Amino acid sequence: MRAIRAIGRPVLRLTRTLGAVTLFALQGLGGIGRPAAIGRQIVQIGWLSLPVVGLTALFTGAALALQIHSGGKRFQASDVVPAIVAIGMVRELGPVLGGLMVAARVASAIAAEIATMRVTEQIDALVTLSTDPVRWLVTPRLWAAILCLPVLVAVGDIIGIMGGWLVGTGSLGFTSATYIANSWAYLEPWDVTSGLLKGAVFGLIVALSGCWFGMRAGRGAAGVGRATTNAVVAAAVGILAANFVLTGLFFE
């Protein structure tokens, strides 16, 4: 019985946590956020994340082109560089790396902001004023992240393919017309659509992680620091796990 209790206790704790997070997400998504608040969060989450997502995609596409060309020469298949860069960016690297970069920037910021409000009792003040803190703080961030991440993924895909194009035409011997033609010839609409759908799911995971840990932060500066750290770690692990599940569903 002692061994069964040792196994069952963490399983029950995990089940309770997953259920609580699911109910929290449904409560946040079920509310109607204020348009002005959603607009501000779109600027914070989407527009201000564009530089880091763009730079990450640019260097990833360029490095991917170099790696594929180097490996392809072993099999006399270096001509597939444009196609593999394009497919790899839109299916996998664009959504995942874009989500991770946004998680590093946005999940930490959301958790720190809401945790600070928890520590300074601003959330308690909202409850005292008969204002739902979830609808006021969580709903705009969830919807803004869901709307912004697919756009960031699309921009990252374009910039990543451009990074491969720069390397391919600059040092790998491709002409511009050949590289562009080979890139688009092997792309299918579902490749792009699946990446955008992944971006929407990753956006929900990022915002949900920041809001969840921020709303449950402990007291003091240490509580804010733990909430921020836990939010980033949970968002990153959640993105990687969700990517595996979605890839299996989309391309099985």
Q: Report pTM.
A: 0.92
Amino acid letter for position 157: D
Using one digit for the tens of pLDDT, what is the confidence trace for 107-137? 999 999 999 999 888 998 988 888 889 999 9
Q: What are phi and psi of 120, to 5 degrees?
A: -85, 10
Output the CA angle 135-96-75, nearest 5 degrees.
170
Q: For residue 11, is pLDDT > 90?
A: no
Q: Can you give the pLDDT at residue 205?
A: 97
How far CA 35 is from CA of 40, 119, 178, 196, 231, in Å, comes to 9, 27, 45, 23, 25
Q: Can you give the pLDDT at residue 34?
A: 81
The Cα–Cα gap between 187 and 189 comes to 7
- Per-residue pLDDT band for 85 (boundaries 50, 70, 90) equals very high
Amino acid letter for position 25: A
Q: Which of 139, 123, 117 is nearest to 204 (CA)?
A: 139
Using one digit for the tens of pLDDT, what is the confidence trace for 133-189? 999 999 999 999 999 999 999 999 999 999 999 999 988 888 899 899 888 888 999
Q: How many CA atoms lie within 13 A of 55 on its CB side?
A: 6
- Residue ranges covered by each domain of the chain: 31-251
The Cα–Cα gap between 125 and 170 comes to 59
